[in-house]
Chains A and B, each alone.
Chain A
């Protein structure tokens, strides 16, 4: 689909937010849900190894990714969090 065609297609659906330019200094706020036993441990190890990543990632620990509820993800997006990362 060409850019034009895509713009036309999107205009037809009023609920879809128009894409807008991303300012160069913008950085997304990311929320990670991590399983206590594996992904959370991996996040710890990255610290132990002094591996660096951006500060705009925050982690919420879950007893298992099985605990990850749809409402958590929806609430995060509803509140304006830009990305959700689930690892486990």
Chain B
């Protein structure tokens, strides 16, 4: 290894500290490390992963949380330029942006991570059981443990307070058993000093302590659980392995109640804010519970259903219609246990006011988020200001900047939010940091120097086989020696032996030495899963001069010894078969050369609204040339009609400042009054021509085509000039129109939203109404404002403005879509009649102004732009991201990114975050000199190809294309190696490297050969 670090007196450092290793911190770390920055990740827990690893599935797609996050954790854990310090905390921060000194305390694990192989034997044999915090107290863990099975790092940690040796002076069972000699009872606390250029805070949040709400019975009645406990109950790897059972008696519950807003939206006894995610996770839990057991009848008790995100309303509709989830609008006043049954009696008032008692088998409390109890200490350590709710102080226009320069925030620590928004902010802070430290990019990263590759062309296979004991993890079930003996005579095998830990340093050195000594040209290791360990062994043989694709791993632990315990003979037979199948494949392995392509360090941003402006500025500040393409003659998009935000920040002033910045920026080129005509090329190498004839080259594309406001046809709009939209009202109020004493305003929500044909929430309208209502009341306190709404969706900290509006005397009337308000005009006055669902009676208001809260629509050009780049839209016309949870600003096609209203309706601060995220993601690509093409891709043989176009139609990444000769060619840069083309090609003109047909067929044949028939 060589360290290309520059001299230490340099002012701007190319390294970053990330405090917090949840999904947001991991996203920042990967983006920054890929873009040429050294990352130090400090995590308090013994593993990275954060809150997401505890979740079973995620809304609204039902994807398994662990399946998504676990590969990310492995990637972070293995990255050459990410140092993770788990079980560690930041003690102090000194210095200034570009040059901070951070002191970190590393708590002792009592396990030497350099020696520990993560085999987990110690944990199995440890005699001491302790209540598991990770499993939310539902089951026990051991005193030496890993937080969860997929923990990164896998090094166990000894819980000193519960360890028998530490408490009573004897035991040391783990030490005796550990064949790697990794247990170290003498380990001490250590202090580390890190020098970094910037700091990212993403430590996550705590959950509300449900015990505080005593009337709901948590901690008292065993069958009242928290939502995070229920998450573990649903999890296939959880305490009940996915069986829905009651903790009290193990019975299968049928009637399950969710109680929403426990600890949230309650400024008297709990937290005043809305936790943003509980309505959706309760919906998800109800659906998943039904999927696990269709006898379950879920009821969700809610105050307001906040399904404000992309496709959330549709998800709730599915819960109601397809899964029979009952949504009961009521506040539950008390939960009592029914004596003898363990069932729970909920008392609540129905819509008509009658008080009822209803019995349930299990109650789930939807607990909200709140800052960690030690957040004040954390704020002191990092010297940042907190707002009145103990969240870091940020503003609408600078949502990820703290009060201290060079210290940024992301994720739920910034304010309550869901996973995609956290990931988005993770990329946003990465982009922000890349801009701040752009001059030091690449100065502190480590690159690896490798020996030249041995040419094995024309050689017979010379295979080395290493069978791992994994301590006794494998060898207690599989007869490892017998496996070794069974392969010794196999064709091509020139060396076979068993090793205690194949992954330990001594074994790695042995493999390298044997590759050289015996001139091995293939290596097979039989040990654990390729998902975590293949890259390690690939690097090992590459160090010894072999192409890394000449390696194969046979999984005889996870897929053999661990699932066939006690069946030693059969398990050994199976292990032999697996190894022989792997050998059959390995004989046919071929070296794979990985190509790379150069990158043009420039971006094109389509759309000059706030999203496009922010993305362009961030990329320009990162040091890349940027072309903004805006079809109108001026920049600003929809924000030109906005005047102030919920927190009274001046939008026009902000917009003007940003446009000035754009115009003065040396790297930004503005193309207004024109549109994209065509783009050719691929990631790193695009060439675009505009309708005005200009053309330029660029390496990345950001689609920020924005949205438009719905023009209403309802409620006499356009017929009566006293019927206006929120935007009209905002302008009137902003340009100095006064409000008369006693002037009457009635607002109607969800105009053109949440009903066919536009059945989605526009997310911004509730805040707009409240913002304008507060402005009216502040101008004239005896003006009358009535808001007729379906659900007030002031999620997150916006909730406090809802409370403020109520305090100011704004009247809220709840309507249901089946009984919409009616508008009449009589004698120059507007009369609005509505059925108040809460009061269960008709109400009537006179109004000087009827203000319609109209929703958002995607910009009409979005579809056209989508067609140019083969991007798909959802049925509403918003562009579909690559992955709803973990790739919220990417497209499946590499090099193209998404932000702003083109993605979905959102507020200004969210658009700003997302634009910075898109710029961060684009920065990762643009900062590369060359983009390496993955080795596992499909190879196209043009001589065999009939150009039938089957691949062209079916490839999800658009890599096959029609070339200048009118035949199919294959762009390997776009290829992801899924192999769809290879399996459907009638001519077999495609083969995927390392998964070639002959290799797979050889495995099948070897399996069949060994069967007893």
In the complex, 19 of the A-B residue pairs with CB atoms within 8 angstroms, ordered by the A residue number, are A29-B1008, A40-B531, A42-B67, A43-B559, A45-B558, A47-B560, A47-B563, A48-B237, A49-B241, A55-B560, A58-B1007, A64-B978, A66-B979, A67-B978, A67-B980, A69-B982, A69-B997, A71-B1001, A76-B1007
As a 0/1 sequence over residues 54 to 68 of chain A, the CB contacts with chain B under 8 angstroms (1 = contact) are 011011111110111
Inter-subunit contact A68/B983 (CB<8 Å): yes
B67→A37 contact, CB < 8 A: yes
Given contacts A58-B1007, A64-B977, 9 further A-B contacts (CB under 8 A): A44-B559, A55-B560, A55-B567, A58-B577, A58-B581, A60-B581, A67-B979, A67-B995, A72-B1001
Interface string of B57-99 (1 = CB under 8 A from A): 0000000101100110000000000000000000000000000
**A51 surroundings in chain B (CB, below 8 A):** 241, 563
Residue of A38, A67, A70, A76 near B1004 (CB, 8 A) is: A76
Q: Is B558 a contact partner of A67 (Cβ separation < 8 A)?
A: no
Q: Does residue B909 face the partner (Cβ distance < 8 Å to A)? A: no
Question: Residues of B contacting A70 with CB < 8 Å?
Answer: 983
What residues of chain B lie closer than 8 Å to A61, measured between beta carbons?
530
- Enumerate B92-125 residues with CB–CB distance to A below 8 Å: none
Which B residues form the contact surface with A (CB < 8 A)?
64, 66-67, 70-71, 149-150, 236-237, 241, 529-531, 555, 557-565, 567, 570-571, 573-574, 577-578, 581, 936, 977-980, 982-983, 992, 995, 997, 1000-1001, 1003-1005, 1007-1009, 1011, 1013
A18 within 8 A of B: no
Residues of A within 8 A of B995 (CB): 62-63, 67
Residue of A with least CB distance to B557: A47
Report the Cα distance A37→B68, complex, angstroms.
9
CB within 8 Å of B: which residues of A?
29, 31, 36-38, 40-53, 55-56, 58-64, 66-72, 75-76, 79-81
Q: A45-B237, A66-B979 are in contact. Are A58 and B574 (CB under 8 A)?
A: yes
Partner of B1005, one of A48, A68, A69, A75: A75
**Cβ contacts under 8 Å, A81 to chain B:** 1004, 1007-1008, 1011
- Taken together as a complex, chains A and B put the C-alpha atoms of A31 and B1008 apart, in Å, by 9
Contact between chains at A60 and B1003 (CB < 8 Å): yes
Q: Are A43 and B558 in contact (CB under 8 A)?
A: yes
Q: Please indicate which of the listed interface residues B558, B563, B1005 has the most CB atoms of chain A within 10 Å of its own CB.
A: B563
Smallest CB separation, A68 vs chain B (Å): 6
Task: Give the distance in Å from the alpha carbon of A50 to the alpha carbon of B843 in the complex.
Answer: 63
Contact of A38 among B67, B936, B983, B1001 (CB under 8 A): B67
Residue numbers in B under 8 Å from A45 (CB-CB): 66, 149-150, 236-237, 558
Do residues A79 and B980 form an inter-chain contact, with CB atoms below 8 A?
A: no
Instruction: Write out the residue numbers on chain A whose beta carbons fall within 8 Å of the beta carbon of B241.
Output: 49, 51
CB < 8 Å neighbour of A72 from B237, B570, B1004: B1004
B558 lies within 8 A of A63 (CB): no
Contact assessment for A63 and B977 in the assembled complex, using a CB-CB cutoff below 8 Å: yes
- Do residues A62 and B237 form an inter-chain contact, with CB atoms below 8 A? no
Q: Is the CB of A75 within 8 A of B979?
A: no
State whether A29 touches B1011 (Cβ < 8 A).
yes
Determine if A53 and B1004 form an interchain contact, defined as CB atoms under 8 angstroms apart: no
Interface contact A31-B1004, CB-CB below 8 Å: yes
CA distance A67 to B1013 in the complex (A): 29
Q: CA of A45 to CA of B238 in the docked complex: distance in angstroms?
A: 12
Contact across chains for A60 and B1004 when beta carbons are under 8 A apart: yes
Q: How far is the CB of B155 from chain A (nearest CB, A)?
A: 16
Which chain B residue lies CB-closest to A53?
A: B563
Instruction: Return A42 CB to nearest CB of chain B, in Å.
Output: 8
Q: Which residue of B lies closest to A75 (CB)?
A: B1004
Which residues of A are found within 8 Å of B70, using beta-carbon distances?
41
A41 to B530, CA, bound (A): 10
Q: Tell me how far the C-beta of A88 lies from the nearest C-beta in chain B, rounded to whole angstroms.
A: 10
**Alpha-carbon separation in the docked complex, A71 to B1013 (Å):** 22
The verdict on A48 contacting B978 (CB below 8 Å), with A62-B995, A80-B1011 known, is: no
> Top 4 closest A-B pairs, CB basis?
A67-B979, A47-B558, A79-B1008, A47-B562
The answer to whether B565 and A44 have CB atoms under 8 Å apart is no
Please measure, in the bound complex, the distance between the C-alpha atom of A36 and the C-alpha atom of B529, giving whole angstroms: 10
Complex interface: chain A residues within 8 A of B565 (CB): 50, 52
Is there contact, CB below 8 Å, between B563 and A50? yes
Is B557's CB under 8 angstroms from A80's CB? no
Contact B983 A67 (CB under 8 A): yes
Residues in A with CB closer than 8 Å to B574 are 55-56, 58
* A53 cross-chain contacts in B, Cβ below 8 A: 563
Complex CA–CA separation, A59 to B557 (angstroms): 13
Instruction: Name the residue in A60, A68, A75 with the highest tally of chain B Cβ atoms < 10 Å from its Cβ.
Output: A60
Q: Are B992 and A63 in contact (CB under 8 A)?
A: yes
A41 to chain B, nearest CB (A): 6
Report B-chain residues with C-beta under 8 Å of the C-beta of A52: 563-565
CB distance from B204 to the nearest CB of A (A): 24
A38 — which chain B residues lie within 8 A by C-beta? 64, 67
Residues in B whose Cβ lies below 8 Å from that of A29: 1007-1008, 1011
Q: When the two chains form their complex, are residues B978 and A66 in contact, meaning their CB atoms are under 8 A apart?
A: yes
When distances are taken between beta carbons in the complex, the residues of chain B under 8 Å from A55 are: 560, 564, 567, 570-571, 573-574
Contact yes or no, B979 A63, CB < 8 A: yes
Q: Do A44 and B529 form a contact, CB below 8 Å, given A63-B995, A71-B1001?
A: yes
In the bound complex, CA of A47 to CA of B1000 (Å): 24
Query: Are A46 and B563 touching (Cβ within 8 A)?
Result: yes
Q: Looking at the assembled complex, report how far the CB atom of B141 sits from the nearest CB atom of chain A, in whole angstroms.
A: 14
Determine if A80 and B1008 form an interchain contact, defined as CB atoms under 8 angstroms apart: yes
CA–CA, A46 and B529, complex, Å: 12
Complex Cα distance, B66 from A72, in Å, reads: 30
Taking A48-B149, A50-B563 as contacts, is the C-beta distance between A67 and B992 under 8 angstroms?
yes
Bound form: Cα–Cα A43–B558 in Å: 7
What distance in Å separates the Cβ of A29 from its nearest Cβ neighbour in chain B? Answer: 5
When the two chains form their complex, are residues A37 and B71 in contact, meaning their CB atoms are under 8 A apart? yes
- Bound complex: CA of A67 vs CA of B999, how far in Å? 13
Shortest CB-to-CB span from B291 to chain A, Å, is: 16
In the complex, chain A residues whose CB is within 8 Å of the CB of B562: 47-48, 50
With the chains together, A79 CA to B1003 CA distance in Å? Answer: 12
